[in-house]
A and B are shown apart, each in its own frame.
Chain A
Amino acid sequence: MSSTVLITIISLSTLGLLAAIVLFFVARKFKVYEDPRIDQVEEALPGANCGGCGFAGCRNFAEALVKAESFEGLNCPVGGSDTMKSAAEILGRVAPEVEPRVAVVRCNGTPEHSPRTNSYDGAPNCTIAHSVYGGETGCSYGCLGLGECVDACDFDAMYMDSVTELPVIIDDNCVACGACVRACPRDIIELRKKSKKERKIYVCCVNEDKGGPARKACKVACIGCGKCQQVCEFDAITIANNLAFIDSDKCKFCRKCEPVCPTGAILELNFPPRKPKEEKEAKVEA
């Protein structure tokens, strides 16, 4: 072995040794503990940082998960139960099963149903419009049609229909993150339980006015007459403030309520056609 090789070996080893020793002592002196599971959980999350969980980004949520006593109320809507399961596995806990949900727009105030009374000329933003005036129609509860919900959706699951001037949800893309629900200043959008074959039945109105004014503002407004509540056998329908609401967790999709509504405020979608009353069906779908 030549002397160069020898010198090389000796000097490098000494250097390595020295560095190792210094580091060893410093590391001892300045030790800080950070839960390694936070990293693991974060890796299991989708990383969309959408805030659907209610936390500021995925890492924040991971920290919350690690700290949480139970997973009650903690859910990543984007990743769904699979993600929660793997997070639970990492932390050795059981995750609650969450039922998949999908957003619906509870307003049917198309120009045809709800004639325009004013024209809005402010900044195209629903919250701004909502805070300065009641709306372009006589209904001060309905959709303002400026698409703030659409802008909020990170998953290309919404668009504004130019004819109805209402937002439309593309069920296949919707991950039920709830961003649109939070964005809408009028609480028009709701996350409802997903059902087989994308079936939906819900009151497509949020107007709390009494029957007369409500009807005057919009042909398909819910007038709070209570007929649907009477026919529902499952206690799924409640009426409050002149407005009916169908609880998607209780609804059994029996379709009894839809025909009794005098204004057509209840919508049913993706059901097979009814035999005798086809005429009405067509009207609602239009």
Chain B
Amino acid sequence: MVIALLTITLIASASLGAVYEVTKGPIAAAMLAKKNEAILFVIPEFNNSPTEDAYSIGTDGDSIFFYPGYNNGELVGTAVESFTNMGFSGKIKVMVGFLPDGSINNYRILEHAETPGLGTKMEPWFRDETGRRSVLGLNPGVNNITVSKDGGEVDAITAATISSRAFLDAIQRAYDNMRKGE
């Protein structure tokens, strides 16, 4: 009986190991692809490999990652993987791209647990040109990127002020740490 169980375990673990070996590469590639795609989305065209030039700063029990993009050696923008703990349902991770002058080029939400239909509107909302929604082109060093309720320059998502605050907090945090790192 022990032998039977042992045999099964043996076969199972061997085949698992094998499958792992096979999928190891693709998994890593998939993860990298996701990151690269986000970086590509938030900063202008570059021809280096930002993931290899990455550096990070630890803050608030987590880290912020910086992926500088160079085109022919010239810095075209920095993609910053930032986070906030102020979300409606915990942590939100965003990738935000800054041009060298500090203005926001674009952003992408990487991870969140906000309510679908409310908090999830972060992705389209803050690049929507209606009213004062868009944060693109704003410079956190110059502009006050808090929600208008708090006296800032950005309109919060309807009925999702908390998520909006959190999102803007992540951006501000990215900017501040980027400046600190320079």
Contacts and interface: CB of A to CB of B under 8 A. Distances in A.
- Asked if A and B touch directly (CB within 8 angstroms), the answer is yes
B10 to A, nearest CB: 6
Interface stretch (A11-19, A182-190, A209-217, A228-236): A11-19
A64 interface: no
Given A4-B21, A5-B21, A9-B10, A16 B16 contact: no
Contact of A5 (B5, B6, B9, B14): B14
B5 A20 contact: yes
A17 B13 CA distance: 14
A119 interface: no
A164 B166 CA distance: 76
B124 interface: no
A9 B14 contact: yes
Nearest to B2: A20
Contact of B9 (A4, A6, A13): A13
Interface in A159-183: none
Given A9-B10, A9-B13, A16 B18 contact: no
Interface residues on A, range: 10 to 19
B12 interface: yes
A6 B14 CA distance: 8
B90 interface: no
Interface residues of B, number: 13
B152 interface: no
Nearest to A13: B9
Nearest to A11: B13
A8 interface: yes
Contact of A17 (B6, B17, B18): B6
A4 B20 contact: yes
A13 B6 contact: yes
Contacts of A8: 13-14, 16-17, 20
Contacts of B18: 5
A241 to B, nearest CB: 70
Contacts of A20: 2, 5
Contacts of A131: none
A11 B13 CA distance: 9
A2 interface: yes
A177 B12 CA distance: 53
Nearest to A21: B2
Contacts of A12: 9, 12-13
Contact of A13 (B10, B17, B20, B21): B10
Nearest to A19: B5
A8 B10 CA distance: 9
A9 B11 CA distance: 8
Contacts of B20: 4, 8
A81 B111 CA distance: 65
A9 B17 contact: yes
Contacts of B9: 9, 12-13, 16
B13 A13 contact: yes
Contacts of A9: 9-10, 13-14, 17
Interface string B83-94: 000000000000
Contacts of B10: 9, 13
Contacts of A11: 13
Interface string B101-139: 000000000000000000000000000000000000000
A221 B2 CA distance: 78
A231 B46 CA distance: 116
A97 B2 CA distance: 48
Interface in A1-54: 2, 4-6, 8-9, 11-13, 16-17, 20
A246 B49 CA distance: 102
The 5 closest A-B pairs by CB, nearest first: A5-B17, A8-B17, A12-B13, A9-B13, A8-B13
14 contacts: A2-B17, A5-B13, A5-B14, A5-B18, A5-B21, A6-B17, A8-B17, A9-B13, A9-B17, A12-B13, A13-B6, A13-B13, A17-B2, A17-B6
Given A5-B21, A16-B5, 5 more contacts: A6-B17, A9-B13, A11-B13, A13-B13, A17-B2
